[in-house]
Amino acid sequence: MVYAAVLATVALFASSTLARPSYLPRDSSFLQLNGEEAIALNAQFKTLTATSSCTDGTSACVNGEFAQCVSGNFVLTSCGSGLTCAALPLVNSAGTSITCATQQDVDERIAASGATSASDSSSSAVASASSAVASASSTKAATCTVTVPAAKATASSATASAASSTASAVSTSTNTSDAQSSLTLLSSLVNTGFQQVGTEEFSPEAGEIASATSANNFINFCATVNLPLTNGTQVQGGSCNAAPMGVIASTNNMPSAKFVHPPNLGTVPANTTFSVVLAVERLQTGHFVNPDTNFFAAPQTVNATTGDILGHSHVVIERLAALNQTTPTNPGTFAFFKGLNDVAVNGTLTAEVTNGLPSGVYRMASINAAANHQPVLVAVAQHGTLDDMLHRRMNGLGA
């Protein structure tokens, strides 16, 4: 089986968007036509094998795996457990996309298009598009369709320039014995979820933009920006960090904190030593690496038994013009800062503010961090704040 070939920037990434040829109708009935084209493509994918020849830059599905054509051969990427590669109908515009999804999702999305079979028009579209480029091959050239529509092409090329990888750059290995010193990405770690822009298959919320994507876990992302590498020092002008985010804490392990002392809206004597007491939960405290040599230099990790993030906390106190100040503060200026590096005693961390602070109004906040000082990362976007913040006064009159 031979099909037409598409080469567009989007084809660098494992979720390829395929538009219908411009000679086909582009009216409001496109959804069903998209579904019929998806059915036709999926039928044709079933005829492909890993050794089918192909046209560079094109994408397809082979035996349920995502296939990208590099140097005339398919490079297969597993979709991961429970997922299969398939062509799906776009819902917002004419065309299809090739992506990884559950078989149930594939079936439902094709059914939702109203399509029940590959229509004559989509079959002939594929057939005629094929013959347009079919000089490339005889029986087994394999690739998929045509052009990317203008709007998508813009998003895709933005994506392309944001990510450094191309399919041909991905080098993977299955050798796990030297994985932590190897310069090669393990094939089991290729993250197909990072290969979708996020706006093609789903109706995006207003203002939602296409994500940068990568076929190689962004391993060479920092080559796309002109910045020094994050090298363990606190690079003042900004830097690019190649360390993975690491282990993300589960929803049962989201850290939380509350100041015990001084009390919120309380008053502390000016210029007099006082203690800050912070109660923390679900943070395995006492894990604190050298901030001058190992800042942001390793992934977040958790306690293998409890799942709590291995980390520490900080307290920062900023002076405000007034308790009802509405202008944002300048994070570069603060009255007091201290890492709370010890293991919590009885669930609390403490710091001494030696000689106190001059009279005024202040905001005090915790900063819960993983061992390498990065802010704690948890499993879900919507959660209560992982830190505490309160306001208090210093005056010369005593509390």
Ligand X SMILES: *[C@@H]1O[C@H](CO)[C@@H](O)[C@H](O)[C@H]1NC(C)=O
Binding site for ligand X (CB under 6 A): 175, 177-178, 228, 231, 233, 235, 270-271, 284, 303, 305-306, 322, 324, 326, 346, 358-359, 396
Minimum CB–partner distance for residue 341 and ligand X (Å)? 14
Are 55 and 135 contacting, i.e. CB atoms less than 8 angstroms apart?
no
CA distance 46 to 26: 27
Minimum CB–partner distance for residue 367 and ligand X (Å)? 20
CA distance 267 to 94: 64
Q: Which long-range contacts (CB under 8 A, 24 or more apart) does 234-240 make?
A: 234/291, 234/292, 234/295
CA distance 316 to 366: 6
Are 277 and 261 contacting, i.e. CB atoms less than 8 angstroms apart?
yes
Minimum CB–partner distance for residue 78 and ligand X (Å)? 19
**CB nearer ligand X, residue 206 or residue 322:** 322
**CB nearer ligand X, residue 207 or residue 398:** 398
Question: Which of 199, 248, 241 shows the shortest CA–CA distance to 383?
Answer: 248
* Cα torsion 388, 264, 336, 327: sign: positive
**CB nearer ligand X, residue 114 or residue 299:** 299
Minimum CB–partner distance for residue 318 and ligand X (Å)? 17
**CB nearer ligand X, residue 119 or residue 341:** 341
CA distance 3 to 347: 64
**CB nearer ligand X, residue 49 or residue 355:** 355
Minimum CB–partner distance for residue 275 and ligand X (Å)? 13
Minimum CB–partner distance for residue 304 and ligand X (Å)? 7
**CB nearer ligand X, residue 139 or residue 324:** 324
CA distance 60 to 144: 6
